[in-house]
Amino acid sequence: MEVVSKWKSHGGTQGVYRHASNTCSCDMTFAVFVPPEAEDGPCPVLWYLSGLTCTHANVMEKGEYRKMAAELGLIIVCPDTSPRGDAVADAEGWKMGTGAGFYVDARVDPWKQHYQMYSYVTGELPALIEKNFPVDMKKQGVFGHSMGGHGALTVALKNPDIYKSCSAFAPIVEPTTADWSVKALGAYLGGGPEDWKEYDACALVSSGAWFSEFLIDQGTADEFLDDGLRPWLFEEVCKDAGIPLTLRMQEGYDHSYYFMSTFMADHLRWHADRLK
């Protein structure tokens, strides 16, 4: 693991790291914030999954999480959103290819060689973090924004024994039918919507997947609300399944980091209550 950069922040350390990923068959970069409390022993770890077009850097620079994470004693890990490099398959536009891994394990060429983001964020990267940072792996939570909100919901529903808390900002709750995800899922996974349901939060809950509770914040002025996000679909299936969901429709907020950073502290406190 290579240290790309490291800064002292709020008494802790914000670092950026790079390693050769066997899962994605390329170099992968990620960010980790370690709070000052980690000097006294292992801390809970909260995984943040970013949205379309983002890298680890977007939330690191705009998410405003460090002050609260330092106060709460949370380690924050921010993976990249896709494999990258000259050898990695790509596509025109921002809804598929680099920056748009959708946290799935691709099954179709040319994507399957590198686009194994589900296995990367749930398997290889956690093992690397456990080996190199003072984390308490019995206390893991996950959250994310947009495409990363989709990723957070699905990895939590598929691994309720690993993640103890899950929240999301403006998540894509039903990517098998959303305008801006069907092209990527078809390319990565092949087949049709019935073949993609293992990566669809609504479909997972409808088929019996369970999680203890969810928190979702969604801006009412989000330009993608009706075509890409549609949180009311997830609210409906969670109600039918008896899964507690707090859905907060935030008046006047859009899809940007201005929205997300506004409620970041709320989410960190919510996770800390459940992890600590």
| Rounded Cα–Cα distance for residues 225 and 238 (Å) | 19
Quote the mean pLDDT of the chain. 97
Q: What is the pLDDT of residue 180?
A: 87
Does residue 276 surpass a pLDDT of 90? no
Average pLDDT (188-195) is 96
- Is position 207 annotated as part of the catalytic site? no
Q: Considering its fold, how many domains does the chain have in total?
A: 1
Residue 227's domain comprises 2-275
Percent with pLDDT over 70 in the chain: 100
Q: What is the pLDDT of residue 92?
A: 87
Domain with residue 70: its CATH number is 3.40.50.1820
Q: What is the pLDDT of residue 181?
A: 95
Calculate the CA 225 to chain-centre distance.
19
Average pLDDT (194-202) is 97
Q: Please identify which of the residues 21, 50, 146, 167 carries the catalytic annotation.
A: 146
Q: Please identify which of the residues 56, 114, 255, 267 carries the catalytic annotation.
A: 255
- Give per-residue pLDDT as tens, 206-239: 999 999 999 999 999 999 999 999 999 999 999 9
Q: Which residues contact 61 (CB under 8 A, 6 or more apart)?
A: none
The label of the residue with tokens 């709070």 reads: 35
- Give per-residue pLDDT as tens, 16-54: 999 999 999 999 999 999 999 999 999 999 999 999 999
Q: Which candidate, 3, 271, 5, 18, places its Cα nearest to that of 141?
A: 271
Judged by DSSP in three states, 45 sits in strand
The residue type of 112 is: K
- Is position 146 annotated as part of the catalytic site? yes
Q: Please identify which of the residues 21, 222, 267, 271 carries the catalytic annotation.
A: 222
Average pLDDT (267-276) is 96
Does residue 93 surpass a pLDDT of 90? no
Would you list the DSSP string of 134-160? -EEEEEEEEEEETHHHHHHHHHHHH-T
Average pLDDT (185-195) is 96
Q: What is the pLDDT of residue 14?
A: 98
- Give per-residue pLDDT as tens, 134-154: 999 999 999 999 999 999 999
- Is position 10 annotated as part of the catalytic site? no
